Amino acid sequence: MKISFLIHNAYGIGGTITTTFNLAQALAERHTVEIISVFRHRERPNLVLDPRVSLRPLVDLRQEEEHPLHRVPARVFPAAEYRYQQYSELTDRRIGECLATIDADVVVGTRPGLNVHLARQAPDQVVRIGQEHLTLDNHSPRLRTALRRAYRRLDALTTVTQADAAAYRRKMLLPGVRVEALPNSVPDPDLPAADGTAKVVVAAGRLVPVKRYDLLIEAFALVVAERPDWQLRIYGKGEEHARLRRIISDLDLCDNVYLMGATARMEAEWVKGSIGAAASNFEPFGMTIVEAMRCGLPVVSTDCAYGPGEIIENGVDGRLVPVGDRDKLGAALLELVRDDERRRRMGRSAIDNARRFAPGPVVDQAERLFTEAHAARQAGRPVAPGRNGVRRSLVGRGFAVRDAVHAAGGRAVRVIPRGQR
């Protein structure tokens, strides 16, 4: 098959870009794969793209930012979508022209606004797969209304967590659309795993308010008060940089907490640490949590909706703490800082338990979905529900499931991560 991914900007840095590149690379082993980037703002992507995956931009902002049509508001891209101000009549036209002439068997949208384009503009013979990298509850009522109308023309919709898939089935009522949880994947590490001896806690992600690096720094001050030889290294860039720098200075942590900037080779930094950390108020999935675990780091994370509780098994491969609780976050970090053997044991468990997010299992699931959707499209029938119901797909993945129903059902499914039981 030929599979095309439609993405906002493949030349930037972010979780959606990372997971799209990962999945595209793995699929390229057996399929023809391309990434279509609506925008381009630099010569080469920040992340390394497998040479077997082709990349083509639709709007090059280096030459076309002042294009007359780029000043006209978009009409296809939904106005309630977070990125709406970056879209225009120019992007409407370029995306529409691209989809009208596309030769792919399957096209995968990677954000709500692009899923709307896909649903409305892709030819009938093309399989339309929408991906949700945020969550339904994160969308405004206005956006939900726009998505409910458009998404009925999709063949399938994937979410990154089981809880969000259940929310879509329950709240959106999309007859004939297969809704399935497809987690993000992380490539097999190239470097030896961390051995748990380094006195370093590592965190990574955009420096934005929702990630709560301020809370993490304050919690780490509790660690430093007892263990001043430990460091916290935070990787990423963003609007919070100056404020975080002031917090570090005000807490007299300049010798312990470092803002390391962005890096395209995060694996090499994870393995230099012994503990991963995440303090988000909200995390649709938790890509950096999986990355850290695959490199042998137990992760201390806030138990925010939706992702961390579906990834971390509390007390086995990491620790889950209440959102916004500085003292409990600091105490959980100290638990692992103080106990060398427990930290190393949990790091080994993290490697084992995070293998379910390796490319193999995730790509197998994606291929099955794409193949079944393609066959259904050719036969002129809706895509059948996945072979595994909610109960089977969650068994052994860290969940207690109550009132489980088949994945195609419309009734509520309560999904309770182990850390919340």
Interval 282-327: pLDDT, tens: 988 999 999 999 999 999 999 998 889 999 999 999 999 999 999 9
Query: Residues 80, 127: one domain?
Result: yes
Give phi and psi for 207, each to the nearest 5. Answer: -85, 80
Q: Is residue 234 part of a domain?
A: yes
Over residues 21-43, mean pLDDT: 95
Query: Residues 241, 158: one domain?
Result: no
Query: Residues 138, 237: one domain?
Result: no
Query: Residues 335, 214: one domain?
Result: yes
Query: Residues 269, 321: one domain?
Result: yes
Q: Is residue 368 part of a domain?
A: no
Query: Residues 82, 221: one domain?
Result: no
User: Greater confidence, 324 or 383?
Assistant: 324
CATH number at residue 52: 3.40.50.2000
Banded pLDDT at 224 (limits 50, 70, 90): very high
Over residues 175-182, mean pLDDT: 93
Q: How many domains, the chain?
A: 2
The confidence score (pLDDT) of residue 341 equals 97
Q: Is residue 408 part of a domain?
A: no
Query: Residues 105, 226: one domain?
Result: no
User: Greater confidence, 214 or 418?
Assistant: 214
Query: Residues 158, 28: one domain?
Result: yes
Q: What strands lie across the sheet with 106-109, from one edge to the other?
A: 54-60, 32-40, 2-7, 106-109, 127-132, 156-159, 178-181
Q: Is residue 225 part of a domain?
A: yes
Query: Residues 281, 174: one domain?
Result: no
Q: Provide the Cα torsion 327, 338, 186, 48; round to 10°.
A: 90
Among 357, 387, 405, where does a domain finish? 357
Query: Residues 140, 221: one domain?
Result: no
Give the sign of the dihedral formed by CA 57, CA 99, CA 370, CA 151.
positive
Q: Is residue 402 part of a domain?
A: no
Q: Is residue 338 part of a domain?
A: yes
Banded pLDDT at 379 (limits 50, 70, 90): confident
Q: Is residue 281 part of a domain?
A: yes
- For residue 85, give its domain range: 2-181
Q: Is residue 163 part of a domain?
A: yes
* pLDDT per position as a tens digit, 143-166: 999 999 999 999 999 999 999 999
The confidence score (pLDDT) of residue 314 equals 97
Query: Residues 238, 98: one domain?
Result: no
Among 147, 181, 215, where does a domain finish? 181
Over residues 174-201, mean pLDDT: 93
Query: Residues 171, 209: one domain?
Result: no
Over residues 62-83, mean pLDDT: 97
The pTM is what?
A: 0.81
